[in-house]
Amino acid sequence: MFTIEHEFDATLITLIDEGEHHLQGDVSINAFDDCITVEQLDPHTDRIQKLTFSLQQLRDLAAALDLPEGSYRLEGKP
C-alpha cells in the first residue's frame, strides 16, 4: 500500500509494508525540485535514517533496475 500527498514544496510518497512476516517500517519519499529524500525509522536506534539522492542519481537508479550486471553512464537528457 502507498499514499501520495502534494505539499507546498514537495510531493510525499509513503510506502507501507503490509506483508505477514518480517515487516519493515514505513518508507517516506520526498520529491523536491532538486533532490529526492528517502526516510525510514530505525527501530534499533529509534531515529529516522535519511538518504538524499540527486535527480541524476535517481535517473541512474531507475535505469539500473532494468539493466544486467555491468558499469554504465547515461548520456543526454532523459
Predicted confidence pLDDT, tens digits, the chain (78 residues): 889 999 889 999 998 888 788 788 999 999 999 999 999 999 899 999 999 999 999 989 988 888 888 888 888 765
The total number of structural domains in the chain stands at 1
Q: Which domain holds residue 30?
A: 2-64
The pLDDT score that the predictor gives to residue 77 is 64
Q: Is residue 30 in a domain? A: yes
- Examine residue 41 and state whether it is found in any structural domain, yes or no: yes
DSSP summary character for residue 50: E
Q: What pLDDT is stored for residue 28 in this prediction?
A: 96
Alpha carbon distance 17, 31 (integer Å)? 20
Residue 63 contacts residue 41 (beta carbons within 8 Å): no
Residue 76 included in any domain: no
Task: Establish if 73 belongs to a structural domain.
Answer: no
Please tell me the pTM assigned to this model. 0.80
